[in-house]
């Protein structure tokens, strides 16, 4: 294999350019003169003047967090949510355990049991947010679009271990009544035109 392709480091053709940086002084005298020059040119006051000018103009672009918050994109991967079915408000999670299996930081755990209708029921579900790296695998693997990421990124806690439980993640029923549950558009969501790539199973009905 020839290395020429790797030797060409001229990336300017793609719109990049090299920043014009002065040569770094090599001997003691040159270093000394640079220090003297910088000290007496009062460069510091140039910066201070900019700050003062902007302050007096009262036209500030800083976001006043936590009083103000940035809008979060629909694909942002913050604290998990558990969605409900639109039709019945029932929990979407079927307790298949795939998220628990795929989780690379091993922070998901669930307990399942048989319910009174002989169906599989998730009796408890936790995520240790202190361990979670918000990779999105759980949302991607979920066959029911049940576990998704939400926009809530404020999850500071006093301890390293920080759990959220099932009821804390489920969409509140008032939200279902209002119809304000939001579908997640990020990892694991159905992409447009997905049905075109599905082979249909013949049925005798």
Distance of CA 17 to the CA centre of its chain: 31
Q: Which of 38, 113, 155, 167 touches other proteins (CB under 8 A)?
A: 113
203: left (phi over 0), alpha (psi -120 to 50) or beta: beta
Q: Which of 17, 40, 65, 205 touches other proteins (CB under 8 A)?
A: 205
Q: Which of 7, 10, 64, 118 touches other proteins (CB under 8 A)?
A: 118
Q: Which of 97, 130, 151, 186 touches other proteins (CB under 8 A)?
A: 97
End-to-end CA distance of the chain: 60
Q: Which of 79, 82, 83, 95 touches other proteins (CB under 8 A)?
A: 95
Q: Does residue number 197 form part of the binding site for other proteins (CB under 8 A)?
A: no
Stretch of 1-9, 47-55, 93-101, 180-188 lying at the interface with other proteins (CB under 8 A): 93-101
Shortest spacing between CB 188 and other proteins, in angstroms:
14
Shortest spacing between CB 50 and other proteins, in angstroms:
55
Q: Which of 144, 145, 168, 187 touches other proteins (CB under 8 A)?
A: 144
Instruction: Please name every residue paired with 149 in a beta bridge, in sequence order, or none if there are none.
Output: 80
DSSP string, the chain: ---HHHH----GGGT------PPPP-SHHHHHHHHHHHHHTTHHHHHHHHHHHHHHHT------TTTS-PPPPTT---SEEE-B-TTT--B------HHHHH-TT--EEEEEEE-TTS-EEEEEEEEETTT-----HHHHH-TTS-EEE-S------SSS--EEEHHHHBPPHHHHHHT------STTSPPTTGGGGPPPPP---
Stretch of 5-13, 21-29, 33-41, 194-202 lying at the interface with other proteins (CB under 8 A): 194-202
Q: Which of 112, 140, 151, 162 touches other proteins (CB under 8 A)?
A: 112
| Nearest residue (CB) to other proteins, 141 versus 175 | 141
Shortest spacing between CB 159 and other proteins, in angstroms:
17
Stretch of 38-46, 62-70, 92-100, 149-157 lying at the interface with other proteins (CB under 8 A): 92-100
- The footprint of other proteins (CB under 8 A) covers 94-98, 100-101, 109-114, 118-121, 124, 126, 143-144, 199, 201-205
């Amino acid at each position: 294999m020839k290395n020429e392709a790797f030797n060409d480091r001229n990336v300017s053709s793609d719109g990049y350019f090299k920043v014009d940086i002065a040569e770094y002084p090599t001997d003691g005298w040159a270093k000394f003169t640079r220090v003297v020059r910088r000290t007496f040119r009062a460069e510091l006051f140039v910066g201070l003047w900019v700050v003062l000018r902007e302050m007096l103009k009262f036209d500030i672009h800083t976001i006043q967090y936590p009083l103000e918050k940035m809008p979060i994109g629909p694909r942002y991967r913050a604290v998990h949510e558990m969605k409900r079915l639109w039709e019945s408000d029932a929990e979407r999670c079927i307790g298949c355990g795939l998220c628990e299996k795929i989780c690379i930081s091993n922070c998901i755990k669930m307990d399942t049991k048989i319910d009174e209708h002989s169906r599989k029921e998730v009796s408890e579900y936790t995520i240790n947010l202190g361990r979670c790296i918000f990779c999105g695998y759980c949302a991607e693997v979920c066959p029911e679009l049940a576990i998704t990421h939400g926009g809530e990124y404020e999850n500071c806690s006093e301890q390293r271990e920080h759990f959220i439980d099932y009821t804390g993640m489920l969409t509140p029923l008032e939200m279902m009544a209002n119809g304000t549950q939001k579908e997640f558009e990020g990892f694991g969501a159905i992409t447009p035109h997905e049905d075109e790539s599905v082979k249909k199973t013949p049925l005798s009905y």
